[in-house]
Structure 1
Amino acid sequence: MKIAATFFLLTLAAGAQAQLYKSTGPDGRVTYSDTPPASGHVVEKKTAGGLSDDNDGLPYELAQAVKNHPVTLYSSDKCIPCDDGRKMLKERGIPFSEKTVKSNEDIAALSKVSGDSQLPVLMVGRDKQSGFSGTSWGSALTAAGYPESSRLPKTYSYAAPVAAAPTAGTARKTTAPASGMTNSGDVAPAAGNAPPGFRF
């Protein structure tokens, strides 16, 4: 019995280091194998340790969280809570995209997502967090399956922030506010460095 148990454990240990390849052949059939395909397109490669080629070499657990619950940060310039939120995400090693809110078009795009005027806004999949709170943001990330501490590869780099409404902002070159976005009571006046209608 001891010999059989030892053999079983050795087999498991050897299998834990094996790579699993998921490939698509010329006929469109998907195949799983522990050896690279001779022909066809490799869709995904994983190891039991968790590395996946699909998400820039992210560990498998982290790659799955990114796939199922992508994280997006809506921020603005000169917004201390936005800076705090960004810092927290990076320290925890959370891959995220950042969308900046500067123009009326950006404000409209954010309103469609959050329905709120408070920045920052964190979207974890469909879960919305308005305003920065390390506790609530951390709970939302943990519930979505993100690791408690950073597991990002040393070579990982974050993408540059983009406007919340990049195409609409370039199409309109006017200083007039967007339709329905005037300061005659529809939008609160700016407070401090906040864009009109926003609070930090």
Structure 2
Amino acid sequence: MSNVLAKPATPLASGLAAPLAGALALSLLLAAGPAAAQMYKWVDSKGVTHYSDAPPPPEAAAKTKVEIKSFATGPQADLPPQLAEAARNRPVTLYSTSPCEICDQARAMLRARGIPYKEKTVNTPEDRAALNQAGGKGQLPLLLVGRTRQVGFEQNSWDVLLSDAGYPTENMLPPDFRQAAPTPAAPPPVPSAAEQAAAAAKATADEAARLKKLPPLNATPDFQF
């Protein structure tokens, strides 16, 4: 496995306010081929159905049934053969944060060259632990091309790395291609059944307490308990 290290890179301290709180036991799967993914389906308090690759907020999970579907993700079927093969054999992942000017430059370079990639954002201590697990060494951006990593953005080095992985030098993405939305480097865990039940019980108790404090419907304006 070859590692390419380039500078400049943005130290994570400039992008994160919270310090690292312990190590997170998180494995990063870098094997070639399609990767496993999950999609969450849930309904909010307004009756709107949401589909997301990140778990719903706890309060939403407590009030509605959350459906989780696992499926395999890989290069889109309509990609040109050379691009599809490269994306299948050497998938590209970008670790970034915000604000981060050099991360913006790195992202713009990937899009200009027409590279399909996954973006993982680093905004929490858990995300930072995942970044370090991936080999980021506390600096951003981090580029993974298959099993090869590069810390920091330097366009010539990235171009060479992508070309060596078999990616076309020209943008060959179909006009209707849509880049996947960024996801946290360490998505929050799905609440357990016990946690969901406890949250639901608390929400029910809070609502009952709120209703108990409401004055009777036929009370006068100056009514007091």
- Superposition TM-score tier, normalisation by shorter sequence: 0.5 to 0.7
Correspondent of 1:85 among 79, 100, 106: 106
Residue equivalent to 1:131: 152
Give 1:132-147 correspondences, 5 Å limit: 132-147=153-168
Q: Which residue does 2:97 correspond to in 1?
A: 76
RCO higher in structure (CA 8 A, sep ≥6): 2
Indicate the SS of the match to 2:134: helix
Q: C-alpha separation between the residues in 2 aligned to 1:137 and 1:66?
A: 15
Query: SS of 1:99's equivalent?
Result: strand
- Between the two proteins, what is the percent identity of the paired residues? 48
Match of 2:127 among 101, 106, 111: 106
Asked if 2 retains the 8 angstrom alpha-carbon contact of 1:122 and 1:129, the reply is yes
1:55 Cα offset (Å): 2.0
1-structure distance, mates of 2:172, 2:100: 28
Instruction: Tell me if structure 1 keeps the 8 A contact 2:92–2:144.
Output: yes
Question: Does the residue aligned with 1:123 lie in a helix, a strand or coil?
Answer: strand
Deviation at 1:56, TM superposition (A): 3.5
Show the 5 A alignment for 1:54-65.
Answer: 55-65=76-86
Go from structure 1 to structure 2 and tell me whether the alpha carbon gap of 1:69 and 1:130 turns closer, same or farther (over 3 Å shift): same
Residue 66 of structure 1 corresponds to which residue in structure 2?
87
Tell me, yes or no, if the aligned pair for 1:103 and 1:169 is still in contact at 8 Å: no
Residue of structure 2 equivalent to 1:41:
none
Superposition deviation, residue 87 in structure 1 = 0.1
Q: Which amino acid in the other structure matches residue 139 of structure 2?
A: Q
1:106-127 superposed Cα distances (whole Å, 9 cap, x missing partner): 0011111115111000000011
Check whether the contact 2:94–2:117 (CA below 8 A) recurs between aligned residues: yes
From 87, 108, 116, the equivalent of 1:95 is: 116
CA deviation profile, 1:17-51 (whole Å, cap 9, x unmatched): xxxxxxxxxxxxxxxxxxxxxxxxxxxxxxxxxxx
Q: CA RMSD in A?
A: 1.7
Asked if residue 150 in structure 1 is aligned to residue 162 in structure 2, the reply is: no
Give, in angstroms, the shift of residue 167 of structure 1. Answer: 2.6
- In the alignment, the residues of structure 2 paired with residue 169 and residue 138 of structure 1 have an alpha-carbon distance, to the nearest angstrom, of 38
Contact 2:136 / 2:151 at 8 angstroms: preserved in 1? no
TM-score, normalisation: structure 1: 0.56
Task: Name the SS of the counterpart of 2:126 in structure 1.
Answer: helix
Q: Which deviations, in whole Å up to 9, do the C-alpha atoms of 1:89-116 show, x marking residues without a partner?
A: 0000000000000000000111111151
* Counterpart in the other structure of 1:161: 182
Q: Which runs of 5+ in 2 are unaligned?
A: 1-74, 193-225
Q: How many equivalent pairs are there? A: 118
In the alignment, what sits opposite 1:26?
none
Report the counterpart of residue 12 of structure 1 in structure 2.
none
